[in-house]
Amino acid sequence: MPSPRHAGRGSVRLVLRAILLFLIAFAGPWVVQLAPPRQRLMALVGFVGVLLLWLVFSSWVDKWYFWLGLLLGIGSVVFVARGGGQGRGRGGGQGRGRGGRSRRPPAHADLTEEL
């Protein structure tokens, strides 16, 4: 029988495991979204690999905090991708590209061909 001093360790481990699983589920969609376009498939495979490794050691399928973290992560990615934070960044319709410079047509676009 465990001593009363060690009885709290199991519950602390469960809470820490729950928090870690929640953070992994929340960060997974962001890792895939922020990966360069050519490497998104590899990021998704890595995220699924982490989940499968977690499943080997401890089941996450029936944990509500995993699904909550995953839904919040996906929801936050969709929110930001649709322009939820329009106060900063690309919003405003200023028509400016990267670096704050306005886009100008190429120099050859002003030339007309004479026949």
The percent of the chain in helix, strand and coil, each rounded to the nearest 5, is 65, 0, 30
pTM: 0.57
Distance (Å, whole) CA 69 – CA 47: 14
pLDDT tens profile 17-76 = 888 888 888 998 999 999 999 998 999 899 888 888 887 777 777 788 888 888 999 899
Q: Encode 21-48: b = buried (16+ Cβ within 10 Å), e = exposed.
A: bbebbbebbbbbbebeeeeeeebeeebe
pLDDT digits 0-9 by tens, 68-112? 888 999 899 988 888 876 655 555 444 445 555 556 656 665 566
The pair of structure tokens assigned to 21 is 């699983």
pLDDT for res 96? 47
Q: With bands split at pLDDT 50, 70 and 90, how would you rate the model's confidence at 2?
A: low
82 touches 76 (CB < 8 A): no
